[in-house]
Structure 1
């Protein structure tokens, strides 16, 4: 469990993965817009860690200005059912506590 939390734990990684999952591939600017409270440095760090761990693939296109896109790898796609279950659980939790759906 400790290794899993190192790979996908923390404040931002599941949100990043969910954003990429909803619209794949995703550009850096689009990810930043989805999470306005994250700093550029933190987003960069989190993306690098997810790439290092084989969860996302970073593709750089030789254009001017350079275009960079992120998508889930084959391994990252195995997280989709887990992310969907977490979203479902969150909605159930919110309804149970009369907070509305996420």
Structure 2
């Protein structure tokens, strides 16, 4: 999981017909890579730096160790990630709806 500390990244996905479309821009304070922690195999989203970017990395191994050593803190981490995911989905839904109005 990557925490953006400086710069901006663009998330894109492949749509029908192989066409790529932009999902979102992420900036400092936001994260990416968390979905890959729960899904094996190839990820369909591409993350591309929009210039210089600095991140901090929280590996799957560190998260696993945290879950064992401090389960309460791990629950707080996963709860915060879930809230962030719902906020992102809500924002993308609003932006998608605005494009079709």
> Normalised by the shorter chain, which TM-score bucket?
0.3 to 0.5
- TM-score, normalised with respect to structure 1: 0.38
Of Structure 1 and Structure 2, the greater helix share is in 1
- TM-score, normalised with respect to structure 2: 0.38
